[in-house]
Amino acid sequence: MTTRASALAEDPITAAFAQLVNMTPHELEAWLQADQSREVGAKPPQGGESTGHASGRHIVKILRKKKGIWNDADLRAMHRVVGSIKRHLAQRPGGDVHATHWADSLKNWGHDPLKVG
């Protein structure tokens, strides 16, 4: 018998989320407090928080939940996060990516491209 939690844990999106989000909740939360985090990403026309920064706050909440105890909003967010990280990775600039808006934006989405392992 498959439970909802085990089915969710085996879902391709939740598996991709677990693979692509390589920052811990603590690392991501600390990053989101940094000025660099607020300076990157697409912002609404009226100003305010970027899409990636807002998503980063939701990612922290998802990461702090027990595996498989996600609601529909969490699953939609995971889907959006996976797509955003994959799009960002496909747009990797040439050369050294340290201290680039590209790397900083990815970190808002929970993926540190400079993290090894």
Contacts of 32 (CB under 8 A, 6+ apart): 53, 56, 57, 60, 108
Is residue 77 assigned to a domain?
A: yes
Look at residue 45 in the predicted model and tell me its pLDDT: 81
Is residue 17 assigned to a domain?
A: no
Is residue 60 assigned to a domain?
A: no
Is residue 107 assigned to a domain?
A: yes
Is residue 62 assigned to a domain?
A: no
Number of domains in the chain: 1
Task: Name the residue range of residue 102's domain.
Answer: 68-117
Model-level pTM greater than 0.85? Answer: yes
Look at residue 7 in the predicted model and tell me its pLDDT: 52
Name the pLDDT band for 99 (thresholds 50, 70, 90): confident
DSSP category for residue 93: P
Q: Is the per-residue pLDDT at 64 higher than 60?
A: yes
Look at residue 43 in the predicted model and tell me its pLDDT: 79
Residue-wise pLDDT tens digits, 7-49: 555 689 999 999 999 999 999 999 999 999 988 888 778 878 8
Is residue 38 assigned to a domain?
A: no
Q: Is the dihedral of CA 54, 46, 34, 107 positive or negative?
A: positive
